[in-house]
Structure 1
């Protein structure tokens, strides 16, 4: 008996794998793990904090409608061109099947949501990209919707905001996708020439043809902390120039340090900062 009392129990070499019944006790999606600090938190608390980690400030991916809800005054946002749908002009194999899967998965018809709404007292036209749909890639419909949103801002004489999140041009649409770089840039130039205010907010990731066109053409260029921003991939650049790049290369903080951004702003402060910018530059919500 004494021997059993003082004998240390042997530790199991391997962890016990939870049974299916144990797994069902915790509903799926109730907890979220931060990919940066690895801390676990309630998903509900994370969403209340605009999907910013409560421990380290890491910015989780936000959907287009979540971002709109976090910025615009209640019931002030009116969506535009929600029914525009992609075609398959090059007869790319399985393209339409992939588009349909993304529609079901994201609840969107395309990789950008556009419309008009109010931030504070200022009315603005906005385009919000969503990386869940074809990785936010820029196809013909994305370029058309953004161009129409710019033209609406020009018509109403109100500022234009764009939140970018994209892997670049959509390869399944070939040159038609690349043409959207020129089309959106030309629309922004006409808007700017008439005195329009353009604010670009780059989120993770903003790459390829999107970063090389409308994402970088704001009068004020902002970004969220830690966002990947660049044209070509890190490995491609290193192989081309035969040099090792800095650890923080192509991050929002690196671009700010080298003069390519005006500010890096936390999502928790984004609405207040945008409201301040709009009040300073366009008192009353539109320019004379």
Structure 2
């Protein structure tokens, strides 16, 4: 044994056998602590395969799973005035915005898109909690109005996914003004006779819950989502009483008549297709890569031979 065997060879082997291992291949479930491989977790829509805990999911990933073939077209949203109050805490508001945009890769806290689910055309809006807590600012108000106007113009239902910590404090009273603005947008849908379906995800709190998140024709929630105006801790400190177990969670609200459904994320798409077509008075969707029922009926009508009876009916 010499220095070549003892030092040089192991050194060479360590250099050439070294592999860069990404640090994002595994995620730990916050509920049960299971380590989940990123591909397995992604294919299950960020739902733990062991305990069913629903982890956060971005608006873009949610739309990719919702729309047919993951195909959708973004709807333009008017940009509001940047930093209207010149707000500053530890950082300036524009600096916080740039940091959030860099972190998420999105322009703002809400994404609006149009496309088809189960061959049913819809307009959808989704809040991204990773963008400044999905806080409701002027852009979010503009996004909901843009979504409602687009739905009315195309005569399509609107499906909204809410996830927010409340109003955006950096915009002060201007953020609170989005509550009546979005209420008017929802009223536009109701006057046009179009369905408005809200999917409440964890968490949906504050002024969002006090406005557009609870004005739907149908309210669906993901399991164990926190849905409230003021949080449980604030209420306990105010009334100085112990709250019931699971207070303000989706299952508790379902039992007390605040929700219509609690549906796992992996089943949400089929549930939305069924409810949307039911509200529109359409027949059930055909699953698989098949033409829609409307297309089948049209093809059958065109394929019927011309007969005297058919001419009389015409």
Give the shorter-chain TM-score range: 0.7 to 0.9
Query: Deviation at 1:271?
Result: 0.6
Q: Which moved more, 1:80-89 or 1:126-135?
A: 80-89
- Tell me the number of residue pairs that the alignment of Structure 1 and Structure 2 aligns: 263
Q: Which residue of 2 aligns with 1:59?
A: 54
Matches within 5 A, 1:98-113: 98-113=96-111
Q: Deviations over 1:58-99 (max 9, x none)?
A: 011000000000110126411012673661110101000000
Query: Deviation at 1:121?
Result: 1.4
The structure that has the greater radius of gyration is 2
Q: 1:76 to 1:29 in 2, by over 3 A?
A: closer
Q: Deviations over 1:217-247 (max 9, x none)?
A: 1000000001111001212211222211112
Higher relative contact order (CA closer than 8 Å, sequence separation 6+): 1
Q: Distance in 2 between matches of 1:75 and 1:56?
A: 27
Q: Distance in 2 between matches of 1:279 and 1:245?
A: 39
Matches within 5 A, 1:256-275: 256-275=254-273
SS in 2 for 1:70: helix
Moved segments of 4+, more than 2 Å: 23-27, 82-86
Q: TM-score, normalised by structure 1?
A: 0.88
Q: 1:86 to 1:264 in 2, by over 3 A?
A: farther
Matched, 1:89 2:84: yes
Q: Which residue of 1 aligns with 2:151?
A: 153
Q: Which residue of 1 aligns with 2:187?
A: 189
Q: Structure 2 unaligned segments of length 5 or more: list them.
A: 1-17, 284-314
Q: Structure 1 unaligned segments of length 5 or more: list them.
A: 1-22
Q: Is the 8 A contact 1:121 1:284 kept in 2?
A: no
Matched, 1:72 2:67: yes
Q: TM-score, normalised by structure 2?
A: 0.81
Q: Which residue of 1 aligns with 2:45?
A: 50
Q: Distance in 2 between matches of 1:228 and 1:86?
A: 31
